[in-house]
């Protein structure tokens, strides 16, 4: 199994990181750690050095920060990302988050930054990890303006089936998180979407399948088990197919 999206660099793991990583190494083949800020990207690159061949970095900037970060800081983020692309397996996470967002100004700032990442992914021919919350159709629509992006991973996907099918029809991937363990909507997605275009993730430290516990990469097993149960398939087969999908898209 592979955890295609997590944040073990976050402060929630500061006291337990060694144990969390040890449990992950016993359970999964690899994890993709997504940088979400300037500091997050730096921590992610450091973790990739600490866990070579196991933790692979994606470098990005979360849309939540797009409107409240000074232009100079965003420029520093982009400069550092470009200088470390050779160490990354993907760009992201980046994208759009329109959840409970009524401000057109903030939307435009998110779209402007997302377009910059789309352009870099196109120019560098790198996979792009996209956060699109209540903005799945818009993110897909914007991505169509850019050629050369090998694959887009719609991480922690929670949109509708129709948009998911369009994403897959264009050759991109849907990543299902541990939300599938307790969300009926995500369970419907898991039942209906083909394994050929699915990845599995935790989005640690968020979305824990266990009440009262911080989510962690080893819990991706719960995502795999739930998908297998919903599809009436063997757990080993789901693990094998989704692992292969991740290996191919991230080239690991």
Q: Read off the pLDDT of residues 190-242 as tens digits, 9 standing for 90 and up.
A: 999 999 999 999 999 999 999 999 999 999 999 999 999 999 999 999 999 99
Backbone angles phi, psi at 92, to 5 degrees: 120, 160
Q: How many C-beta neighbours within 10 Å does residue 52 have?
A: 8
Tell me how far apart the alpha carbons of residues 80 and 62 are, in angstroms, rounded to a whole number: 15
Contact by Cβ (8 Å): 44, 35: yes
Percent of the chain with pLDDT over 90: 100
3-state secondary structure of 57: strand
> pLDDT category, 116, cuts 50, 70, 90?
very high
Residue in the structure block whose two tokens are 């990005």: 60
| Beta bridge partners of residue 173, listed in sequence order | 153
pLDDT at position 150 is: 96
Instruction: Reply yes or no: is the peptide bond before residue 7 cis, omega within 30 of 0.
Output: no
Domains located in the chain, CATH noted = 2-250 (3.20.20.140)
pLDDT at position 111 is: 98
Please compute the mean of the pLDDT values over residues 165-172 and round it to a whole number: 97
Quote the DSSP letter at residue 127: -
Please compute the mean of the pLDDT values over residues 81-103 and round it to a whole number: 97
Tell me how far apart the alpha carbons of residues 204 and 178 are, in angstroms, rounded to a whole number: 9
Q: For the segment 27-75, what is each residue's pLDDT rounded down to a tens digit?
A: 999 999 999 999 999 999 999 999 999 999 999 999 999 999 999 999 9
Tell me how far apart the alpha carbons of residues 139 and 2 are, in angstroms, rounded to a whole number: 25
User: Is the model's pTM score more than 0.85?
Assistant: yes
Give which of 54, 53, 61, 59 is closest to 83, Cα–Cα.
Answer: 59
Give which of 144, 142, 155, 141 is closest to 113, Cα–Cα.
Answer: 142
Backbone angles phi, psi at 164, to 5 degrees: -60, -40
> pLDDT category, 2, cuts 50, 70, 90?
very high
Mean confidence (pLDDT) of the chain = 97
| Beta bridge partners of residue 154, listed in sequence order | 130, 174
Strands 55-59 and 128-133: unpaired
């Amino acid at each position: 199994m592979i955890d295609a999206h997590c944040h073990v660099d976050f402060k929630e793991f500061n006291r337990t990181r060694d144990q969390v990583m040890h449990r992950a190494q016993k359970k999964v083949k690899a994890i993709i750690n997504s940088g979400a800020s300037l500091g997050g990207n730096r921590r992610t690159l450091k973790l990739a050095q600490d866990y070579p061949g196991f933790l692979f970095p994606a470098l990005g900037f979360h849309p939540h920060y797009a409107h409240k970060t000074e232009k100079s800081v965003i420029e520093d983020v982009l400069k550092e990302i470009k200088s470390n692309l050779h160490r990354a397996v993907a760009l992201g996470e980046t994208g759009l988050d329109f959840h409970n967002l009524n401000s057109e100004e903030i939307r435009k700032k998110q779209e402007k930054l997302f377009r910059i990442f789309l352009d870099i992914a196109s120019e560098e021919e790198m996979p792009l990890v996209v956060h699109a919350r209540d903005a799945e159709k818009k993110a897909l629509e914007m991505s169509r303006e850019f050629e050369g992006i090998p694959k887009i991973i719609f991480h922690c996907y929670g949109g509708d089936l129709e948009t998911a099918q369009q994403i897959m029809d264009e050759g991109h991937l849907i990543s299902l998180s541990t939300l599938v363990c307790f969300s009926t909507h995500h369970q419907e997605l898991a039942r209906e979407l083909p394994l050929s275009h699915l990845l599995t993730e935790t989005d640690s430290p968020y979305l824990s399948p266990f009440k009262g516990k911080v989510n962690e990469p080893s819990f991706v097993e719960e995502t795999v088990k739930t998908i297998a149960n919903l599809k009436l398939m063997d757990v080993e087969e789901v693990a094998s197919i989704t692992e292969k999908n991740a290996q191919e898209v991230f080239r690991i």
